[in-house]
A and B are shown apart, each in its own frame.
Chain A
Amino acid sequence: MKKLIIFLTLTGMMGAMPVVSQASPEDDLKAWRSYFKKRFPDVKFDEFSNGLYALPGAEDRRTEWEEIMEFPPYELELEEGKKFWDANKLGTCFKNGGRGIAHKYPYWNGKEVRTIELDINACLKKKGKKPIKDLKKGKMAQVVAYMKSMSRDKRVKVDVSSAGAKAAYEKGKKFYWARRGQLNFSCAHCHVDKAGQFIGGNILSAGLGHGVGFPAYRSKWGGLGTLHRRYGGCNKQVRAKPLKPQSETYRALELYETYMASDLPLTAPSQRF
């Protein structure tokens, strides 16, 4: 009986407040950061941009990674990206020749969330050249890596102030926290609740700092891959059907994740296991 009364009062209260006040992105960010600060008190804020290598328990991997980074395996591909960038004069489509602007991506252009990948393909189209088809690896990953490398160490600054951007942000947030796939996991289950713990032989990266290191050279891939390629892989691992790269939902997710990584330095391109 008591339970029923509580239940009724609760539903009554909810009825009385039909507008459940949604947390603003700023509040989300505050709660997000304080959660990770509490969970990993010894990890400095900037270190989160190094993905799982920043986390306690990954010291051996960190040593290995630091040795790899003495001669990063993505350097050859980065040069390819530069060649493609120069050959197609992609700098003319971007502010300041594409230098020092990547930390503001993705952005809301009034209609949709624009990512670097979309802008590069739009630029190629404008110049009467064929847009790059493969949005996961190869040319696209190389070019994006080169453009991001020109903004290395700049701190992520994404604008979600407009109404459209906020809607996309909410969409991405919903995707992040919603269960999916046969395993019924959300992104947050692994990368927030269980961040830093082992899954099989691997360490789960912290949700804070996702995206700033992509495109990344993954040893598993044997080459560079874009963020959306990783999203697809992640979705597959929870036995969910991956969405298409640069689909609206993935772009919204990118906006949400990048906003949550605000003020972290860009480390792309990077190396991940």
Chain B
Amino acid sequence: MASFATKIKVKQSGGTALVLTLVKHPMETGQRVDKKTKQKIPAHYIQKMTFEVSGKQVAEANLGPAVSKDPLVGVQVKNAKKGDKVKVSWTDNKGNRGSAEETVQ
């Protein structure tokens, strides 16, 4: 199976940090049909994405089949200080997991 690279970027501006996450993920809806085999491509999408700052959860996103492939998800976090560790982790409907970590600059 393809690897699910997860990338995270944190941008700090005036006490608010913009956290951006890019995940390499097919995000199959389960509706598409394989042209050759005429079989439906099984659904495969990220269901939950959580954002943590210094071990404390600050945001949670419920994604579904409506989200595009290789999704870019961003949240704004208040009161993020320099040196704080921001972590994002996700799980998909097939039980795959991924995470990435970055320090606030």
Q: Which A residues are closer than 8 A to B by beta carbons? A: 70-71, 73, 75-76, 79, 222
Contacts and interface: CB of A to CB of B under 8 A. Distances in A.
| Secondary structure type dominating chain A contacts | loop
B11 A76 contact: no
Interface of B: 5, 7, 9, 11, 20, 22, 24, 69-70, 72
B69 A76 contact: no
A76 B5 contact: yes
10 contacts: A70-B11, A71-B9, A71-B20, A71-B22, A71-B72, A75-B7, A76-B5, A76-B24, A79-B5, A222-B69
Contacts of A70: 9, 11, 20
Nearest to B22: A71
Contacts of A73: 22, 70, 72
Given A70-B11, A76-B22, 16 more contacts: A70-B20, A71-B7, A71-B9, A71-B20, A71-B22, A71-B72, A73-B22, A73-B70, A73-B72, A75-B7, A76-B5, A76-B7, A76-B24, A76-B70, A79-B5, A222-B69
Contacts of A75: 7, 22
A76 B22 CA distance: 8
A222 B68 CA distance: 11
